[in-house]
Amino acid sequence: MTRRILPLLALASSLTACATQAQETPPPIVRIDIPRVELPAGVDPLGPNSGIREGEAVGQAVRTLKYDDGPNGLNAIIALAPDITAQVRAARRLPLAGRTVLVKDNIETRELPTTAGSLALANNRTGRDAPMIANLRRAGGVVMGKTNLSEWANIRDSNSTSGWSAVGGLVRNPHAIDRNSCGSSSGSGAAVAAGFAWAAIGTETNGSITCPASINGVVGFKPSVGVVSRTHVVPISSTQDTAGPMARSVKDAAMLLTAIAGADPADAVTTTVPNRPADYAAGLAEASLAGVRIGVMRGQVGDRQDLTATFDAALADMERAGAELVEIEFEPDTAMYRDSFQVLMFELREEMGKYLSSLPGEDMPRSLADLIAFNEANKETEMRWFGQDLFVQAEGTTDREAYEKARANAVRIAGVETIDKLLADNRVRFLVAPTRGPAWVSDLVNGDNFNGSIGFGAPAAIAGYPHLTVPMGAVEGLPVGISIIGAKWDDHAVLKAGAAYERARSAVLPQPRFERWSPPLRPSAPRIAD
C-alpha cells in the first residue's frame, strides 16, 4: 500500500510535492491515496503574523512529513486535518490555546473519515464529532489529524501484529523502527514520542493505551470507565472501552483529560461519575508521595533481570520521595481472564452492529457479519498477514445468559476481589508494577511476541479502574514504563501520584532515534513539557 501526500499548506514549493511511501516488503498489492495535509491558501506559517501556537502546529506538520513518510517512516499518521492553522487561530483564547492533538482513527471527527484501520470503513465520513472531540474543541484543542492503529483495535484475529492496519500499514517505533509500537493505540503513542503533536487520544479495552505509551516512552492514562464518553467511537466492549490521553508529561495528560472528559446522556455510565474534578491537572505541581503507602506487584515483572533492575530503580526514587513501599504477593484468578474474553466476544458482535447500523451513507457494512464477508472478499489487502478468527468467534457468541453471568463474574473478580482487596488488605493507596517489557521486533508473519512482563493492567481494564503509565527508564536502550493503579474513580489521585513520581525520577530516558535498533548509547534527558 502507498499513501500520497497532497499539496501542503502553501508553505514552499519544496513541500508541495507528492511523496510515495512503501510500507512493507514484499511490494504492496493495492495502491490507496489518502489526503494528508492541506492548510488554507495564503497562509504563510513563517510570516510575521504567525502566532507561537500556529508556528508550533506547522512545525509539527513538517516534522510529521519528515519522519512519518518514506520507506523507513513511522506510519503513525493516517491523515492530517485540512484546517490546522485556522483551528489554532480560533482557539487562541481558550484554555488549551490551540495545542495540537492527534486522534486515534476509531474516534469520529467531523473533517476526516473514521476507518478503524479497515478498508471497509474507508468512506466512513460521518461529518460529526464524537462528544469527547466536541469537548476538546470547546476547550481550545486542535484536531491535528488521525493516527494509525491496530486494525479494529486488535480484536480481529488472535495472531495479529500490533500496529498494522490495511489503511495505514505497520506503525514503527520511533526509538527503533524495526521494533513494535504495541497497540492498539500504536500511532498515538509513536506520534507523541516523535513530537508530531502536543498530545494524542487513544482508546483502550485492555492495554491499548498503556502498552503503546510504555513502549514508546510517553505517559498514557486509561481513566475509569465513564470519565470519557464513548459515543461515536468504533466499539469493542461497553464494559471495558474508554478513551484516554497520551502525552509527554503527566501534566499534559491531565490537561487533555480535563478537556475531553464529561457526562454524555447517550453514554449512561458517564452520568454516574461521583465528584468529577473540574480540572484533573489541579494540584499536580504540589503532589507528594511523602507518607503514601504503595503496593509493589513484583510478581508481575517476569523473568527479565534488566527490567527488574529498572523497576527497582523506580521504586528507589519513590522511596526517596517519601513513599512507603509494601511488597505484595499475588496470584491472579484465571477465571477473570476467561470470563472477560467471553464478555468481549459477546459485546463485540452487539456493539459493533449498533455502531455500523447507525452510520450515514450508502454501501456501508451494517453488522459484524458484513465485516467478515468484506474481509473474505478482500483477502489480498485485508487478510494479507493474519485472519479474523476473533470476528468469527464473536459472530457465533450469542448466549446472553452466559454473557451476563461472565460479565458479573469478571468485573467482581477484577475489581472487588483483586484491586479493592489488595488495596484494603495491605493498607495501600496505589499498586505499582512494570507496564510491559521493552519493544519486540515486529513480525507480520508470526504476530506479536511480548517481550517479558505483561504487567498488572488487565484487572484495571476488566474492572474499569484507572491505570497510569509513566516512563521509568530503559531496557536495551528502549523505553519502559511504570504502572500506577488505583481504586475506581480515584483518577485524580492516580495522576497526582504519577506527577510526584515523575519529579522524583532519576533515570535518564531514551530519546527517539528513528533508526533500526542498535546497542544503546547514553541517552539525553527529556524536557518535561510546561
Residues with catalytic function: 104, 184, 208
Residue recorded with cell 476526516: 112
Helices (H), 1-125: 52-68, 84-90
Query: Strands 164-165 and 169-170: what pairing?
Result: antiparallel
Q: What count of other Cβ atoms lies within 10 Å of the Cβ of residue 403?
A: 18
- H or E element in which residue 414 lies: helix 400-414
Q: φ, ψ for residue 306 (rounded to 5)?
A: -70, -35
Record the cell numbers describing residue 102, joined without a space.
492527534
CA distance 176 to 514: 6
CA distance 42 to 97: 23
**What are the b/e assignments for 60-94, b being 16+ CB within 10 Å?**
bbbebbebbbeeebbbbbbbbbbbbbebbbebeee
Q: 264: which DSSP letter?
A: B
Query: How far out from the chain centre does Cα 95 lie?
Result: 23
Q: φ, ψ for residue 326 (rounded to 5)?
A: -125, 115
Record the cell numbers describing residue 327, joined without a space.
511488597
Q: φ, ψ for residue 522 (rounded to 5)?
A: -70, 120
Q: φ, ψ for residue 222 (rounded to 5)?
A: -95, 105
Query: How far out from the chain centre does Cα 472 lie?
Result: 18
Helices (H), 226-334: 250-260, 305-320
**What are the b/e assignments for 433-463, b being 16+ CB within 10 Å?**
bbbbbbbbebebeebbebbbbbbbbbbbbbb
